[in-house]
Structure 1
Amino acid sequence: MFGLTTTRRLRAELALAKQETDRQRERADNAEADAETAKHNRRQALDQLAAADSANRVLHTRLKQTASTGDTAGLERRIVRLREASKRILAAHAREKKRADHLQRRLDDAVGLHYGGHIRDSRQYQPGYEKPKADAS
């Protein structure tokens, strides 16, 4: 009106200003916390990368030493032996699988599964068997 402000209006404006100040303060606190977290994460990543780089340099140095000492022939012989062993293991696995499949077929024949893939009557090897009753619901 004439530049006068009522107490109610003043209090409302002060409450709004206080809310805005609190909101801005909270945003600033969150931004500072986020910045600290990002700084901490960067520091951790740099430490991890430095450790990985150090381990990589050690490994590279060892590989150079191994290659320079002429041990590559020994490593190649070891690779050949490992390949031969893996071939023997795979052949043994194939033999055992074939044997297990044969035994499974014989078991299926013994219990009557060779008649179309399902058991016709299980009373011969399961004396207490009762057929399930149909639900009345």
Structure 2
Amino acid sequence: MAETGFRSFTTTVDKTNHVLNNIEQQYGMSKEHRNISYAALRAVIHTLRDRLTVEEAAELGAQLPMLIRGIYYEGWVPTRAPVKMDREEFLARVQREFNFRADGGIELLVQRVLQALRDHITEGEWEDVKSSVPRDLASVFP
């Protein structure tokens, strides 16, 4: 547990570490690779955020842990959303933003990051997000 001296901050740091740990465990990485799991999280949530409508992006963002929500909204320009992307374009953009080699491929990376976030998102919101993207892209979602 990371002690920040402020309960809300401590809780969000713990939740963020849990998500990053989950990504690392799925890849068999140690915490020494935290920069890689963070880069994966950031690349996937930014690409997803930009693919969604402004309303859907905000609804998803509202369910994320506070610290991850800050990462999610970093650099967002709502007037440019949504960016239309099919499955291949989505995966290519994640790869460009990730800047590391993804063991097992970029689709597996996206699935692992989304699975790590899944515990923080209600079933209804998850289904809304999936229905907001093209069917070929929704097939990537766990």
**What is the TM-score of this pair, normalised by structure 1?**
0.19
Larger radius of gyration: 1
**What is the TM-score of this pair, normalised by structure 2?**
0.19
Higher relative contact order (CA 8 A, sep 6+): 2
